[in-house]
Amino acid sequence: MPRVAVIHGPNLNMLGIRETEVYGHLNLEQINQRILERAKTLGLEVRITQSNHEGEIIEAIHESLQWADALIINPGAYTHYSIAIRDAITAVRLPTVEVHLSNIHAREEFRRQSVTASVVHGIISGFGVMSYLMALDAVKFILEESRR
């Protein structure tokens, strides 16, 4: 079964409480539940982590190399300025899908830039929990195509 590491970045543990008009009413546990259900349907094995610390996210990316075939990451605000997370994604060379609950291009100017965007396979932004579910579909497709 293809293995996918899902990494949630800073402040995503606050979902359900935090800016619900932007991020919706589901909390992280409920989002993770939806991810696990969808992964089961798609025949993907998933491991999910969340961290508020840049170094821990970098380590989670490095560790995914020992286990995962692909990566799904929502780097939260680090998206907009963490060259270190960008370098970690580049280092592991796993097919990676970047995810955002909100449409980062429809928000403040500083959110419109993603420093990770150019090193990932693609970005899904603006569909709430569905962004993660579409990322699972994308990852499955990418892995299947690479085996053809």
* Piece of the chain touching ligand DQA by CB under 6 A; list 37-45, 50-58, 59-67, 76-84: 76-84
User: 102: Cβ–Cβ under 8 A, 6 or more apart, which residues?
Assistant: 22, 23, 125, 126
Of 86 and 100, which CB lies nearer to ligand DQA in the complex structure?
100
Q: DSSP code of 19?
A: -
Q: Which two tokens stand for residue 117?
A: 């965007």
Q: Is 11 in the site for ligand DQA (CB under 6 A)?
A: yes
111 lines the binding site for ligand DQA (CB under 6 A)? yes
Question: Burial of 6 by CB count in 10 Å (0-12 exposed, 13-18 middle, 19+ buried)?
Answer: buried
Q: Is 106 in the site for ligand DQA (CB under 6 A)?
A: no
The yes or no reply on residue 74 touching ligand DQA (CB under 6 A) is: yes
Count of residues in contact with ligand DQA, rule CB under 6 A: 10
| Residue 102 φ/ψ, nearest 5 degrees | -90, 165
φ, ψ at 57 (rounded to 5°): -65, -45
Does 86 contact ligand DQA by CB under 6 A? no
* 100 catalytically annotated: yes
102 binding ligand DQA? (CB under 6 A): yes
